[in-house]
């Protein structure tokens, strides 16, 4: 009973994702979808990489949430165009959400569109938004069993960020075991440790985003600040 | 298009939840549904309260996960009957999952059935499993904006647990603001801080579970150990 329903939803999403992909290609935009559980540090990652990237790229952001505009306000404070997408209880963004949000983005001069998905390690991984790349976040405070427990999130990621690494001494998190588990399901994916206390890893993430083919072609190879 | 589909899923779930509720009533079981994001400490809460409750109650556990039997193994190590429910990518437990799992629970002599839902702060809150009470967890490492961002989780909770409170000095988490936000959407709900370093709060949670009407009627008012 439920399988045809799921298929219909995903087929509809896939069509919209293809349309988004075509639109991004036509406009020359690079789109990065940022996924991870609630509180894993997605907005904080944006706050760290946007100032590092904006000198060479025009950036816009879509913020996905069930409720509140708190994250969009944090991005707006950086002076970057942002649209808050509220799903009204929905647990993930769809390509259709993104398509509607693009109508509300008042700028056309964009090189890099960063999409922060709904805080949920499960459902967002099922929905292609038409993005060029995915970044999956896991906070070290959330436990080293998560790559095995949420395989799709890590399997579909192009970059894995282990956030809040300054708290490693305070928690029981085996970074080596996590790297092993992640590479078991996604052998070649790069894994970066980050934290805001020392800014560890944010230059690496910035460099990784900047090295995406479509963005490099557009924004050049300016060195990381 | 999508609304009738959601309604159908929820209606089917509601029928199964009513059947579970009738079964629990007939058998005299009290059922508690434990919800929260990935890594917020649901299994750890079970590991703390089960030894405190088992002297006066017969306990069984259903563990919900997308993949792996890691959590069930942790409960099995306590010598408590446990069934691992794998959703194969599904982001929440349904009452139908619970109904099937009950067929695999080899014991009938149960006073308290504890269900650990899939680690996800969004979808599980939509699905009644037939439980008597819900406990919602939030780790202080996951940020104090979460009650506003995931209102249904906190609105439908009968008890709110703020876990990993030993990490409060290391993170930016305003407990007073969170209590205010939680009580704005769920005015009378009790909020308990817990952590495994000092065992703060676990006696309170144990006492709260033991005070549930249907359980008190069955297991008496033995004092907390």
The two tokens of residue B118 are 């899939």
Residue A148 to residue B2, Cβ atoms within 8 A: no
pLDDT above 80: residue A6: no
Per residue, the 3-state secondary structure of B29-93, as one string, reads: CEEEEEEECCCCCHHHHHHHHHHHHCCCCCEEEEEEECCCCHHHHHHHCCCCCEEEEECCCCCCC
Q: How far apart are CA A164 and CA A43, in angstroms?
A: 13
pLDDT at B93 (0 to 100): 95
Q: Residue B189: which pLDDT band, with cuts at 50, 70 and 90? A: very high
Q: Which of B86-90, B138-142, B184-188 bottoms out in mean pLDDT, i.e. has the lowest?
A: B86-90
Q: How far apart are CA A95 and CA A16, in angstroms?
A: 5
CA nearest to B36 within chain A: A38
- Residue A57 CB partners (closer than 8 Å, separation 6+): A111, A112, A210, A215, A218, A219
**Residue B79 and residue B176 in contact, taking contact as beta carbons nearer than 8 Å:** no
pLDDT above 90: residue B168: yes
Residue B141 to residue A123, Cβ atoms within 8 A: no
pLDDT at A88 (0 to 100): 80
Percentages helix, strand, coil for chain B (3-state, rounded to 5) are 45, 20, 35
**Residue B38 and residue A121 in contact, taking contact as beta carbons nearer than 8 Å:** yes
pLDDT tens-digit profile of B104-140?
998 889 999 999 999 999 999 999 999 999 999 999 9
pLDDT tens-digit profile of A49-105?
999 999 999 999 999 998 899 999 999 999 999 999 998 888 999 999 999 999 999
Q: What average pLDDT does the segment B156-168 reach?
A: 97
pLDDT at B221 (0 to 100): 60
Mean pLDDT for chain A overall: 92
Q: How far apart are CA A203 and CA A140, in angstroms?
A: 19
DSSP A77: T
- What percent of chain B has a predicted confidence (pLDDT) above 90? 84
Q: What average pLDDT does the segment B7-22 reach?
A: 89
This prediction's pTM? 0.87
**Nearest alpha carbon to residue A141 among A45, A209, A40, A57:** A40
| Buried b / exposed e along B178-196 (16+ C-beta atoms within 10 A) | bbebbeebbeebebbbbbb
pLDDT above 60: residue B95: yes
Q: How far apart are CA B157 and CA B141, in angstroms?
A: 20
Residues β-bridged to residue B65: B86
pLDDT at B9 (0 to 100): 75
pLDDT above 70: residue B90: yes
CA angle A102, A105, A107 (to 5 degrees): 120
Residue in A37, A149, A166 nearest the CB of B68: A149
Longest dimension (CA), chain B: 53
Which residues of chain B make contact with A166, given a CB cutoff of 8 A? Answer: 170
Residue of A220 and B59 predicted with greater confidence:
B59
pLDDT at A126 (0 to 100): 92
Q: How far apart are CA A44 and CA A9, in angstroms?
A: 31
pLDDT above 90: residue B5: no
Q: How many CB atoms lie within 10 A of CB B210?
A: 22
pLDDT tens-digit profile of B15-55?
999 999 999 999 999 999 999 999 999 999 999 999 999 99
Distance from CA of A1 to the nearest CA of B (A): 10
The two tokens of residue A65 are 């949430």
Distances (CA, A) of B28 to A13, A59, B153, B222: 45, 59, 27, 18
Residue in B120, B145, B148 nearest the CB of A120: B120
pLDDT tens-digit profile of B211-220?
999 999 888 7
pLDDT tens-digit profile of B190-214?
999 999 999 999 999 999 999 999 9
Half-sphere exposure of A191 (CA within 13 A, CB side): 22
pLDDT above 70: residue A111: yes
Which residues of chain A make contact with B151, given a CB cutoff of 8 A? Answer: 66-67
DSSP, residue by residue, A8-26: HHHHHHHHHHHHHHHHHHH
Residue B65 to residue A91, Cβ atoms within 8 A: no
pLDDT above 80: residue B223: no
In this structure, are strands A82-86 and A112-116 parallel, antiparallel, or unpaired?
A: unpaired
Q: Give the alpha-carbon dihedral of A70, A76, A78, A82, to 10 degrees.
A: 110
């Amino acid at each position: 009973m439920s399988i045809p329903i799921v298929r219909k939803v995903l087929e509809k999403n896939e069509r919209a994702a293809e349309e988004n992909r075509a639109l991004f290609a036509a406009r020359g935009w690079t789109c990065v979808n940022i996924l991870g559980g609630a509180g894993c540090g997605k907005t904080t990652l944006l706050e760290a990489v946007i100032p590092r990237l904006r000198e060479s790229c025009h950036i816009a952001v879509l913020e996905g949430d069930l409720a509140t505009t708190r994250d969009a306000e944090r991005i707006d404070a950086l002076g970057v165009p942002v649209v808050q997408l509220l799903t009204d209880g929905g647990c993930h963004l769809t390509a259709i959400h993104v398509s509607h949000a693009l109508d509300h983005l008042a700028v056309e001069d964009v090189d890099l569109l960063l999409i922060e998905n709904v805080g949920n390690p499960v459902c967002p991984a099922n929905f292609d938004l038409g993005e060029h790349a995915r970044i999956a976040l896991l906070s070290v405070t959330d436990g080293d069993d998560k790559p095995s427990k949420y395989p799709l999130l890590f399997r579909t990621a192009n970059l894995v960020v282990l956030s809040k690494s300054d708290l490693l001494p305070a928690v029981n998190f085996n970074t080596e075991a996590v790297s092993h588990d992640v590479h078991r399901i996604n052998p070649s994916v790069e894994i970066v440790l980050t934290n805001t206390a020392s800014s560890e890893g944010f230059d690496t993430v910035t460099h990784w985003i900047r090295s995406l083919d479509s963005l490099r072609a557009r924004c050049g190879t300016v060195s990381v600040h």
